[in-house]
Structure 1
Amino acid sequence: MKQTLITILLVFIYYYSFGQEKEATVEAEFDTIFHFQFESLKETNQKKILIDQSHNTIYSLSYGKETAREMLRIMNEDGFDLKFTNHVLDSTNLAKLNPDMLILHGMPNDKIVLDSGEKKEILFKSPLSDSEVVDITKYVYNGGSLFLFLSHFPGGSGALPLLEAFSIKFRDGYAYHPDNPGHNGGLCSHFIMTPKNGMVNSNHPVLASRLSKNLLPETIKFLCGAAIFRNPEDAILPFPKNTINYTPTHDGSKDIEETSNSYAGMIGFNYGEGRVIVCTDQGIFRSLDLLIDGEKIPVTIHDPECDNADLFLNSIRWLTKLQ
């Protein structure tokens, strides 16, 4: 199948190579070829997945579903019943739709411009209302599951109230380690994660169940994300010791907030009767190639050098209690 070439505005390219312009028009292409082969649970799987497109997630974009093509195909192929919703995520709608898992994919703040006539003031506000945060938390506590994808600054800022509700500490910048520089030496690291280098926790329940034995990832590519931490045992993809959190400032300079031995790029944990996974690389399972400075960078599920698809399948099965 022929790949489709598109041109989109990707603000986050600035963070792949610190010091370039903050906004750049970058060519990208959708991967339409890769099909992950696995033993499907379609005959026995009756789980329902609800995907949010009412807020400013990737699915609110015209091309969002195309970039997540393989993710959606894997879920369908494994027997999941997928539904997209444009409704608020309150207790009424969650009870009516009754999903086994809720996916929120990307959650930047809403930008609000106040124009008094004399000057303009820009405010940022989470797209999630206070009642939605409370109701999503209750939904998980009572047995539902949440798969939340964030990104480096500014692509995860809008999820902060929800993260705090689950006692997750979020560093709204980008994670950097000198042994894992970003594109062209940028300060948003490209991590190559393996069990051997300690950045894939094979003992986490997501990767240690009976259904995971033939799906254990040997290499995960995590291309530029933010840092989170909760409890040490929650880390699925822990960052190396002495990982630095960089936070951009309004004047374009950089600020080192802290260095930590406890940061992770992906965590998973039980919460009441439910389960939560949070990943801070928004593109870790997307079918998109970025074309930067003449170089093609797979983002990343179809990258032949990685096993991101194995991690994705294990994650959705664990969240929906199939394993």
Structure 2
Amino acid sequence: MKYFYLFIVLFFSLDVTAQQRPDTSFTININQPKYVEGEGPVVCIDAAHNNFHTIDGGFAPFARVIRKDGYNPIDFPNLIKTAKDLSECSIYLVANPLHESNIGNWTLPNPSAFTPQEIEAIEQWISQGGNLFLIADHMPFAGAASELGKSFGIHFSNGFATLEKPENQPDLFTIENGRLKESPISGSNAGVTTVTSFTGSAFTYPDEAIPVMTFTQGDFSLEPEVAWQFEDDTKTVEIADYAQGLLLERGEGRIAVFGEAAMFTAQIITSGNNEFKVGLNNKDLAPQNIRFLLNVMHWLDEK
């Protein structure tokens, strides 16, 4: 039964009693940082769109990693009216935005977290050399990011994507299974041949994009009316040839889009008496995810 995969979100059930928190004990050393500490590009981490992940919350471990590489992550609680509002940012990271109507209410509809004015300003900023790192996880976050994605030719399936795989296995995108592609940030030349994902979204993309993580025949996305509530008649979308990660150049700027957030941070999930490490802190489950994250950051600021 395909719905059994929702046991999963890796080897455990995300039931209503499960608690999710950033792993405050997670540490990392980078032998050869890209930048001298404190002298790297400014990375603005969005906190203006009811984000599920912010620099002081779920993406604190993300900030810790890139800070070790010399970047300067800052909290960015500002709404965007014009491209100038992003002038201090080299990279603008948006992780799991949410429309205010969906705060504590993960049911359809899932309106855009960004206004048309903001989307226009972000597009202009990118065309002038800005770099966007957009992460939109499973429903309702994919829905909240849908209008921003559409402006770049990216169309999210607002659901829960999973791979056709043995039960109780994580979502492994590897060069060997064909789901991880050779790209500027993945493959043998990039030092990344496997990337682990933790249940996210899928999206279609324009021809000019560089696919990184892709789905194949048999992979599917469930699009429920209410997040995590699945019935026999829940809408199912076949997602062969969709992506969960890509790179895209637009004007003078660059865009990296991913449909899963946990792969870029470190979290602890508590379910009953059990605790699970999910993300960068699980060296056994996601051994190359840290290198992959750094590759994404380096590609965004290398032009």
TM-score range, shorter chain: 0.7 to 0.9
Single out whichever of 66-75 and 274-283 deviates more from structure 2: 66-75
In 2, Cα distance between the equivalents of 1:102 and 1:33? 24
Change (3 A) 1:99 1:255: same
Change (3 A) 1:302 1:218: farther
Contact 1:28–1:288, Cα closer than 8 Å, also in 2: yes
In 1, Cα distance between the equivalents of 2:262 and 2:195? 12
Contact 2:164–2:218, Cα closer than 8 Å, also in 1: no
Change (3 A) 1:310 1:133: same
Aligned residue number for residue 18 of structure 2: 26
Change (3 A) 1:177 1:194: closer
User: The residue matched to 2:238 in structure 1 has which SS?
Assistant: strand
User: The residue matched to 1:226 in structure 2 has which SS?
Assistant: strand
Q: Which deviations, in whole Å up to 9, do the C-alpha atoms of 1:114-133 show, x marking residues without a partner? A: xxxxxxxx965322111001
Is 1:42 aligned to residue 35 of structure 2?
Answer: yes
Write the letter of the residue equivalent to 1:128.
Answer: F
Quote the sequence identity (%): 18
Contact 1:193–1:200, Cα closer than 8 Å, also in 2: yes
- Aligned-residue offset at 1:70: 2.9
Contact 2:110–2:140, Cα closer than 8 Å, also in 1: no
Is 1:127 aligned to residue 113 of structure 2?
Answer: yes
Is 1:246 aligned to residue 238 of structure 2?
Answer: no
TM (norm. structure 1) is 0.77
- Aligned-residue offset at 1:73: 1.8
In 2, Cα distance between the equivalents of 1:109 and 1:252? 22
Write the letter of the residue equivalent to 1:104.
Answer: V
Contact 2:170–2:198, Cα closer than 8 Å, also in 1: yes
Greater share of residues in strand:
1
Aligned residue number for residue 74 of structure 1: 65
In 2, Cα distance between the equivalents of 1:111 and 1:168? 23
Contact 1:150–1:156, Cα closer than 8 Å, also in 2: yes
Aligned residue number for residue 153 of structure 2: 167
- Aligned-residue offset at 1:301: 0.7
In 2, Cα distance between the equivalents of 1:314 and 1:162? 23
Matched length: 285
Change (3 A) 1:169 1:33: closer
Change (3 A) 1:26 1:320: same
Write the letter of the residue equivalent to 2:18.
Answer: V
Please tell me the root mean square deviation across aligned C-alpha atoms, in Å.
3.1
Aligned residue number for residue 57 of structure 1: 51
Change (3 A) 1:90 1:299: farther
Change (3 A) 1:176 1:80: closer
Change (3 A) 1:98 1:16: same
In 1, Cα distance between the equivalents of 2:240 and 2:180? 15
Change (3 A) 1:108 1:23: farther
In 2, Cα distance between the equivalents of 1:29 and 1:58? 11
Aligned residue number for residue 256 of structure 2: 277
Aligned residue number for residue 229 of structure 1: 204
Change (3 A) 1:193 1:78: same
Write the letter of the residue equivalent to 1:176.
Answer: T
Change (3 A) 1:180 1:135: farther
Is 1:196 aligned to residue 176 of structure 2?
Answer: yes
In 1, Cα distance between the equivalents of 2:49 and 2:71? 23
Q: Which deviations, in whole Å up to 9, do the C-alpha atoms of 1:95-115 show, x marking residues without a partner? A: 5x33111000112332179xx
Contact 1:110–1:158, Cα closer than 8 Å, also in 2: no
User: The residue matched to 1:198 in structure 2 has which SS?
Assistant: coil
Is 1:299 aligned to residue 278 of structure 2?
Answer: yes
TM (norm. structure 2) is 0.82
- Aligned-residue offset at 1:76: 1.5
User: The residue matched to 2:132 in structure 1 has which SS?
Assistant: strand
Write the letter of the residue equivalent to 1:195.
Answer: I
Single out whichever of 161-170 and 46-55 deviates more from structure 2: 46-55
User: The residue matched to 1:143 in structure 2 has which SS?
Assistant: coil
